[in-house]
Amino acid sequence: MSDQKRTVRKTTKRTAPKAIAAGVAARVVVPAPAHAERLLDFYREMLFIRRFEERAARGYTQALIGGYCHLNLGEEAAVVGLISALQPTDYLFTNYREHGYAIARGIDPKRIMAELYGRVDGVSKGWGGSMHMFDLTHRLLGGYGIVGGQVPLATGAALAIDYRDGHEIVMCTMGDGTTNIGAFHESLNIAGLWNLPIVYVIINNRLGMGTTVEKSSAEPELYKRGAAYRIESARVDGLDPVAVADAAMSAVAVARAGRPFLLEVVSERLRGHSVVDPAKYRSADEVASLKQHDPVHTLAARLVTEGISDETTLSVMDQEVMANIEEISAYAEASASPEVSTLFDYNYATPVPNDSRRLPGEPLFAAASTSGANS
């Protein structure tokens, strides 16, 4: 695209609203009845994600889930708050800690669990597993196992939207460790230069695997990195779904008006980096603090304190969710495993000449026939 074409189109776009100031997201005022329903909706979704992830952890110990498995336990408020700000037509890119995002995006949880189990009814037909979910219908474009692998691709998607004058935006989530790789800075630089409609979201759970942000980043307040590329940015409490939702809506508004945004969501993860990580790098005091600030329990207490719900009602809700999760798990376990012959079916979108379909253990070249050898 020529610079002239880009300049002409950009002059027709709305001016980005002054929704963010001094690194703090503007809050959205919600009437009291709507506020109560909003909190209840957030709680239901957070509770569902919590129970789903706990069941996934159990499934891993039962050898129902293979490969790697990274859970959103402790990040439920961040997940539901962020996704609530998106329109169905917007695009979402995530890293490998993605189950909760897939649920919040509206994908059938049965298909999500089936994918974790590696079954044909899964989101990626059983070949993607925990880290590689993809659903074009819900505009979830991955699930990426490589740290930061989604960031350049999400930036490219935003460029495609801009090129065709679309009204969608892209949201790209990542972990705090991603902010130290080259692709992060290259992507933000391009987005800042070309005014791309994208919201980059740093889920800062304070630990890049087992290393604290303070020990890995010279500037631990990661949202400030947007200043290098003249990108508006903000930092928000990731344990409060309302605060996250308000910040995300403001960030999305900026992106939809034609400018990128960098949002840092400060959260926690209750378990190790993956289900096999015992998290021995945490002290007993840290573990106790995590339990005290558990976002699901905190929101439940808030609902009771504000008179929006009561403990009996919340307990019944939990029982209903648990029963639903068991149905989901049973569905996934009953689903068939994919045939080995389909292993290469989705390597390419269109046929490719000389596409190798050699399975592990098979010879690189087919053995010559006897008649051919004697001719």
Chain segment 263-318, per-residue pLDDT in tens:
999 999 999 999 999 998 988 888 888 889 999 999 999 999 999 999 999 999 99
**The pLDDT value given to residue 25:** 47
The position carrying tokens 């960030």 is 251
Over the Cα atoms of the chain, what is R_g?
Answer: 23
CATH 3.90.550.10 fits 19-374, yes or no: no
pLDDT digits (tens, 9 = 90+) for 110-123: 999 999 999 999 99
- Vertex 284, ends 280 and 290: CA angle to 5°? 95
Mean pLDDT in residue range 48-61: 97
Residues 127-169: pLDDT tens digits? 999 999 999 999 999 999 999 999 999 999 999 999 999 999 9
Q: Residues with Cβ < 8 Å from 32, sequence gap 6 or more?
A: none
> With contact defined as beta carbons under 8 Å apart, do 179 and 153 qualify?
no
- What global pTM score does this model have? 0.87
Average pLDDT (15-22) is 36
pLDDT on residue 293: 93
Residue 27 banded pLDDT, cuts 50, 70, 90: low
Joined tokens for residue 269: 């993860």
pLDDT at 366 over 70: no
Residue 92, φ and ψ in degrees, nearest 5:
-125, 130
